Structure 1
Amino acid sequence: MNASSADHDLVVLVHSGGQKAARGQHEIETQRALAGQLAALIGVPFGGDIDEARRHAHRYLIPDDTLLLDDARRMGVTREDDLFGGVVPYPFVATKVVAHGLPPGARAKPAGWPDELGDRIGHLVLPGYSVFARDDAHAAAALLWRDGAVRLKRPSGIGGSGQAVIADANQLDAQLDDIGDDALRTEGIVLERDLRDIATYSVGWLCIRAHEASYYGVQHLTRNNHGHDVYGGSDLVVVRGGFDALERLEMPDDARMSIRLARTFDAAIRDTFPDFFASRRNYDVACGTDDQGDHVCGVLEQSWRLGGASGAELGALQAFADDPALAVVRASTVEIYGDDADVPADACISYRGVDPHSGPITKFYTVERSD
């Protein structure tokens, strides 16, 4: 697709240095590969890494993490059409802690914390609290233990990392000692109801210039080269257009519930933080069984940045651009660790190599029509 006359000097650039880049070289190279595909989608050049000393009349930025408002402005990002990702006014808004309120009588909270948000979204998320002090953590855990197991989550863990199920105060203290009081005070943690037989749905919306799509899907795990269960990919049903178009599809009841929870959560965030904006919005929603045997669904976290499903997202948008009559596709991302990855002939590879930290890994995505 050709760029419009207004975009004749537009260039796509990447900015690395966030949580994903810290995970390994494969994240940086994946980001660059997807940036090149996004540039091709909108018909403009890919210019590599951003150099703030070099002036571009128009640039479209792909950061590897959600941007803070001041940093975004410094890099010329002032609206959704300027980036693939999101911009937030405070650091905590980009992490898991924004999905829960504080426990009753909490002593600590970060600057900009909106006390009213927890009440507004409490019915959209799993029972839980965000805490920023050791005493508050113990108070929150004690309340949650009354009804079952409790999961502790560090605020910026990706793909299930940085989590532990805690059964008593000693286990909680051990986790808090490992985190450290300084990190607890500045970043916080989440204490949340732990579920069994869990399915994690992904609900998302993205708009890259004139290209808009929304989707629902499920995530799956894989075993990495160190023997740990980690994110292994997503299987998505993607529609041309926004959430209204998505909800017109036939789908499982839990998928429909997940979309409604994610949409309401998204609206609450936008109302609470007027400076927030994002062109890529992804919400993880858990559906599972609690210790009372009840079926429970709730938003786990948000992702307003390049994510594990972004290859499938961009592949779907390219399919829609190539065929104006196409309305629905199935798109999947896959991450395989080890040397013997079996890649389908029609797959688009985002990364294949040996990462210094993660070892051999292959990432690819596929897109097919949904009839």
Structure 2
Amino acid sequence: MTARNTPHTAHAAVALYPNRAHEARHERVSLGELARRIAGLQGLPYYGEFNPEQAPAESLYLVPSGTLIGVEEARGLGIASELDLFGGVVPLPFVATKAISHGLVGAGAQAPQGWPETFAAQAGDALLDGFTAFDLDDAREAGQRLLRQGRMRVKPVRATAGRGQWLVEDTDALEQALAAQDADEVNAFGLVLEQHLDEVLTYSVGQVRIGELLATYHGRQRLTEDNAGETVYGGSDLVVVRGDFDALLQLDLPDPVRLAVSQSQRYDAVASACFPALIASRRNYDVAQGRDAHGRQRSGVLEQSWRIGGASSAEIAALETFHADPTVTRVRASSLEFFGEVRQPPTHASVLFRGLDPEIGFMTKCVTVEAYEGT
């Protein structure tokens, strides 16, 4: 399989590029370790952290901590294709968020320049029922329309891990949710209004490429309790195959998993068609499955991630296994995150970070890889 956006240059080294506004110590350390392992996969030295103001980037393979916004920025960093970075480049800010997963409430609704009018229609039943609004009046109309079907959710598009969401059951609750939004934030980045599902299971489906190594996976996220007693992300358990989406679909998958993979494949293809400037060597999709207000089973892609993420340690560990043994075509790989000093990493785990983070206390981040015995 050939890479999308194929032109690229030879690389002298791999560098971590911290480009988010804030990164906790555990993130910075673990991302650096993953960048080091990405360098090893390509037989390149690890440069360390890259600062574009201090050194040229043309000969570096970059591992940005966040999605790069804008083709010009990418070109200035020497990125011409997915072979030049681990992560993604999007042409416009809203493309990096869950905003693109739904259409507008009507033809006259407000939208930013470059908005993909046909994305939601082309993705079709790969999406749940919902709308994206860039104006609070449009959001009100969208919410009222969705409430006719049952409960719904109001979701700020830049929030992660379910933070900032509102479960809305009636028009009064809708007004409260909209009153809590920042109008400028909504105008700039959008607001998602989406049907609520009960008995929800969320699947992760994704694909990663480093050089000639290509792998695709399905999996589930785990939750854990942090040092403050809050329920937070605790890692991902993946089944990873060598090859593309079609290779993953050749496995004997349960019907719900097969549907999640197929919907992610469709979403991915539509995104690539609607945004030709999109560059992504890491593609991850969250797919929710549950029952709607009428008891019907529904499934759809919630959002995408085109940057290094929580499951990336498992993704990279799987690629390392494929690289070390060309006969291996399938593995189970797990990223693990847990808190406190009492719990120890599994004996066969590779530790990315274990120590005190000034912001969240003591935590451990590690990864395991095992043989896959399924068909």
Q: TM-score, normalised by structure 2?
A: 0.93
- C-alpha distance in 2, partners of 1:175/1:23? 29
Q: Output the CA distance in 1 between the equivalents of 2:182 and 2:11.
A: 48
Gap change, CA 1:219 and 1:61, over 3 Å in 2: same
Give the AA of the match of 2:84.
D
Fraction of identical pairs, as percent:
42
Q: Which moved more, 1:147-156 or 1:258-267?
A: 147-156
SS in 1 for 2:106: coil
In structure 2, the residue matched to 1:34 is 34
Aligned to 2:336: 334
Alignment: residue pair count: 364
Residue aligned with 1:362, SS: strand
Cα 1:268–1:337 change in 2 (3 A) is same
Q: Paired residue for 2:117? A: 115
Residue 349 of structure 2, aligned match among 333, 337, 347: 347
RMSD (Å), alpha carbons: 1.7
Instruction: Confirm or deny that 1:147 pairs with 2:149.
Output: yes
Tell me what 1:308 maps to: 310
Aligned to 2:4: none
Q: CA offsets per residue over residues 189-244 of structure 1, 9 Å max, x none?
A: 11111111111111111110011111111112222223332221111110111111
Give structure 2 stretches of 5+ with no counterpart. Answer: 1-7
Provide, for residues 150-187 of structure 1, a one-character-per-residue CA deviation record: whole Å limited to 9, x for no partner: 11211122222232212233433333333311111101
Could you tell me how far apart the structure 2 residues matched to 1:49 and 1:171 are?
A: 46
1:1-371 matched pairs, under 5 angstroms? 10-18=12-20, 22=22, 24-52=24-52, 53-68=54-69, 69-371=71-373
How far is the alpha carbon of 1:106 from its aligned partner?
4.7
Any runs of at least 4 consecutive aligned residues in structure 1 with deviations exceeding 6 A, and if so which?
Answer: none
Question: Secondary structure, in 3 states, of the residue corresponding to 2:104?
Answer: coil
Deviations 1:109-157 (A, max 9, x none): 1111121212222321111111111111111111111111111211122
Partner residue in 1 for 2:3: none
Structure 1 contact 61–83 (Cα < 8 Å) conserved: yes
Distance 1:306 1:81 in 2: 15
SS of 2:118's equivalent? helix
Q: State the Cα distance separating 1:349 from its structure 2 match.
A: 1.3
Report the Cα distance in structure 2 between the residues aligned to 1:206 and 1:359, rounded to whole angstroms: 31
Relative to structure 1, is the Cα distance of residues 338 and 149 closer, same or farther in structure 2, using a 3 angstrom cutoff?
farther
Q: CA deviation at 1:57?
A: 4.9
Distance 1:355 1:219, change over 3 A: same
What TM-score, normalized by structure 1, do the two folds share?
Answer: 0.94
What amino acid is aligned across from residue 47 of structure 2 in structure 1? G
Counterpart residue identity of residue 194, structure 1: H
* Residues 1:291 and 1:250: Cα distance change in structure 2 (over 3 Å): same
The 3-state SS of whatever aligns with 2:263 is helix
Contact 2:57 2:77 in 1 (8 A): no
Structure 1 residue 246: deviation in Å?
0.9
* Alpha-carbon distance in structure 2 between the residues aligned to 1:268 and 1:220: 29
**1:26 maps to amino acid:** H
Q: Quick one: structure 1 residues 269 and 9, their matched pair in 2 at CA, closer, same or farther if it must change by over 3 Å?
A: closer
